[in-house]
Each structure stands twice: as C-alpha cells, then as structure tokens.
Structure 1
Amino acid sequence: MSGHVVWKGRRVAFRRGESLASALSVAGVRDLGRAATGQARAVFCGIGQCQNCLVRVEGRLTEACLLICKDGLVADPDDGGGHD
C-alpha cells in the first residue's frame, strides 16, 4: 500500500497511482452520497464523463474516478450541496 485517504472520517488504503474511486471500491465503499435531485452518487462510467461520482475534496467538487490518491487526502460525499 502507498498510503491512506480519509473518507467520511474512515482511513482507506490505496496503491500508488490509484484513483479515489478505485480505492473506495476496493474498500467496499459503493455509496458516494446523493445529488441535489436525490439520485444516489456512485461510480458509473469511470472516465469523468457522467460526473456521477462527484465528491468534496478540500471544499471543492471533483470526480472520484479522475482524482489520484495522495496520502492524507480528505474526501466526503457532496450530498446535494451544489456545484462550485
């Protein structure tokens, strides 16, 4: 393992070069929150096109499937908080 990210206060291990979506999936996390419409957020396309995996990192929305993990990164679900 290369390090840990923090998802909803829980440490999640990742391998070097792994996306946040991949690390969360390996850890058994499938639920990434809810969109403002109430639709469940999860990894769908895996290439950033659908934006269904939006999460909050350092106060900004980003696609979990495009974000490469860095040790100590803190991420949380958006839960319908809106766009930046």
Structure 2
Amino acid sequence: MNAVIYWQDQPIVCTAGETLAFVLLRAKICDSGFGVSCTGQVYGLFCGIGACQGCLVEVEGHGIVEACMTPVKDKMKVYPASYHEGSPSGSEAGACA
C-alpha cells in the first residue's frame, strides 16, 4: 500500500511498512546525514540492524527513533534528530556528558 512521509515537510512517496532508513536512502536524503549530535557528529545509516543507533531521526509524536528499525506509516512526519528547537535532541537536551 502506498504511503507518503514528510522529511522536513518534503513529501516522499513510499510503501507502508518499509523502514524509514530504506525510504530515506532511496530518496537520497541520507547523503547529508539524518541529523547532527551535540558533538557535531553526523547521524547516518551504519549497521542497519538497530545496534549502533547511527540512524537516529525524530518522528513527530514519537520522539527520537532508529530509522533502520522504524516502519513507515502514511503521513508520518520525520526530521533530522537535531531539527526541532526544544526537541529531546535540540537545544533543550543540555550539554553532552
């Protein structure tokens, strides 16, 4: 079944049930990374099995998730992990330990 997700408000047509990582890779979104940590490290797909947490993204209403382990749902809004001001990964997360 077709679905549409929104990466930073950009619509991407995909198939419901595919992983976010696969959809973002196919759309060439991950070329610049999925987000940036508080130390400046760029998040991106590495292991693809949920072990490394390198593909963290923020899903509206669900917080920070691993893109490689998260199935797509229609109308899902997805952002880089550091995108939203005040998000758990944004400016209010505090300093890095």
TM-score (norm 1): 0.88
Gaps of 5+ in 1: none
For 1:62 and 1:16, locate their aligned partners in 2 and report how far apart those are by CA, in whole Å. 17
- Between the aligned residues of both structures, percent identity stands at 39
Please tell me whether Structure 1 or Structure 2 has the larger radius of gyration of its CA atoms: 2
What residue number does 1:72 align with?
Answer: 75
Q: Is the helix fraction higher in 1 or 2?
A: 2
Letter of the structure 2 residue corresponding to residue 67 of structure 1: T
SS of the residue aligned with 1:65?
Answer: helix
TM-score (norm 2): 0.77
The one of 35, 38, 41 aligned to 1:39: 41
What residue number does 2:85 align with?
Answer: none
Q: How many residues align?
A: 83
Q: What RMSD over aligned residues (CA atoms) do the two structures have, in Å?
A: 1.7
- 53-62 vs 69-78, greater mean Cα deviation: 53-62
1:28-57 deviations in Å (ceiling 9; x for gaps) = 111201011100111111111100111111
The one of 41, 50, 53 aligned to 2:52: 50
